[in-house]
Chain A
């Protein structure tokens, strides 16, 4: 006989869960008691939001389901931001929350919240388990739903008496969700037609999104790009899907995308959209987006096809399987390749010219460390191989522009939700999953201050995370919008009182320092990376730098502002 809490852990063991990120409380006491004897590792974070972000970091670094756990009421409500984040970026997470005992549900009991109702819209699916008999099925279904199809977060809410009830664990042999429709194999006829459209195109562009990473389709993407020899843009969620050093790679498109990426989108006659959802930050004004292009749209979620942009050729399926078949179909129809090869060669030349004329280049100064300078130094050390868990803001955009990622699952960031406070806990999750990898947490001084308590988790778990704070003394991204669109009336964006990094890190028993001289940056960064354990490096960068190119909100993506009209100074 086991109790419900032990059954939960048995289910997790069978799902091959290695690590749970969580925070205990009254109604999860039975679960934490069972954990006392469990081989599954539990990482005690300092806030439940960070448990979910860390589980996401784990999932984003591995492709496997990340698990987080919180108590009822405030514990569960603290998970909400993380769940929405995982939902927006299609990250597989299972959240286990405690609930007040079944007989008290609905009575406004102590620490009762309607977790099932609150998280309905923040999850791919959720469960409220009311009897022990339903428990194993619910947990296994949760993992199945989180990991398959378009991945996403699933929450299982478990009342305390269900944790305490005793029963036998009957292994769950099958999962039957008759209404859970996942189409993985693309339609063969559509794939053949796609091959034909591709060979007929004169200016094809591959537009790859996070679905490539979710599907583990990087190899297939690379083979595809090389077979067609088309330029390829990777969205913020897809950086690393194609190696950053690949000659066909054209950087990120969209609001802070490169000139070449946005021009290619606008001039292409065929967009091959793979696992991507035509997000507004990519397309800018939809009516002006890729006006000359036909669209082949491959996605595992049929609701994404035609949502923002009509598809001329829709293919519902898993990106990996579809690309395999598409590569075959292209090989089978290779006699069509020469048809427009000359036009495609000219197109490649044109895209190359855009890349040469308007490269994304770091800026340097001898007086101060430019933010781009910091990123370029990080890139040097990383060589396209390090994990970078980024927070949200200017630093995120500069990293997305300037860092190379030669593999998928190295670039970890909050794309769809853009939640500040994501970077540090996500780095914890990633480092737990990949203990030997070099993991940078790249943070703004704003976002870092939302997650400082996690320094304790890093110290406790001895995680060698390299925390790089790009300290511009501002909520930089908001300041940039105020500077450009609100007459530089800087309102509530100055961050005064940033703590002394050496003392701050020291208080947690970690090494830390500040660097502000451009000439010292390289050495400071090397020391940070060479330190065997965690390290906090606070990098003072120029306070008024803006991210360019920039497409103003609501404009077409060709209406890029490439550089500041004049040096922007605060008054």
Chain B
């Protein structure tokens, strides 16, 4: 099944590799992954969609939470969350189809972001099914080229990450002594 995971993590070199490494070490295929910094530039938010066996879902979240650069990993697969994807679609169309395409795009709430004599570049957002449909429709009009952002999601229930407070170095050393 496809599991949707949202991660809040430190924006540090190697952090992404730790997350993806955890998945590849288990032989999982990543369906989509998107990551960008948050309001706090020291942190990033990542949305991952990954194919997993259902019993492994909880284990995967626990393993991600173990990563030191990860502040919080949550499973949004069945949670109340908004899921969106963006796609940029370049479609080549003949002169006579130009207006039809724009009409069709409007139905999907897609906007032209570039126009040339050969056709348009269109931007569309929505849930993945809507994007799939839009791509299928555009494909019927001519040659298309598609770039999808992968799913991004935001949970509707604010779940504050539990962060560890600083520890005095002496304490750290005491553990070692």
Contacts and interface: CB of A to CB of B under 8 A. Distances in A.
Partners in one complex: yes
Given A174-B167, A303-B59, A143 B173 contact: yes
B121 interface: no
Contact of B164 (A143, A180, A307): A180
Interface in B144-174: 162-169, 172-173
Nearest to B168: A174
A177 B62 contact: no
Contacts of B168: 173-175
Contact of A182 (B17, B59, B164): B164
A143 to B, nearest CB: 6
B172 A144 contact: yes
Contact of A179 (B13, B21, B71): B71
Contacts of B10: 178-179
Contacts of A65: 176
Contacts of A172: 169
B12 to A, nearest CB: 10
- DSSP majority for the B interface? mixed
A179 B163 contact: yes
Interface residues of B, number: 33
A478 interface: no
B68 A125 contact: yes
Nearest to A178: B163
A176 B69 CA distance: 12
B18 interface: yes
Contacts of B67: 179
A179 B13 CA distance: 15
B71 A140 contact: no
B66 interface: yes
A125 B177 CA distance: 21
Given A120-B18, A306-B59, A180 B68 contact: yes
B68 A120 contact: no
A302 B18 CA distance: 19
B169 A179 contact: no
Contacts of A148: 172, 175
B13 A143 contact: no
Interface string A434-469: 000000000000000000000000000000000000
B63 interface: yes
A220 interface: no
17 contacts: A128-B13, A144-B167, A144-B169, A144-B172, A147-B175, A175-B167, A176-B165, A178-B163, A178-B164, A179-B67, A179-B71, A179-B163, A182-B164, A301-B66, A302-B62, A306-B58, A306-B59
Interface of A: 14-16, 64-65, 92, 116-117, 120-121, 124-126, 128, 140, 143-145, 147-148, 171-182, 301-303, 306-307
Given A143-B176, A144-B175, A179-B164, 7 more contacts: A64-B176, A120-B17, A121-B21, A144-B167, A179-B69, A302-B66, A307-B59
7 tightest A-B CB contacts, nearest first: A303-B62, A176-B166, A144-B172, A178-B163, A174-B166, A179-B71, A147-B176
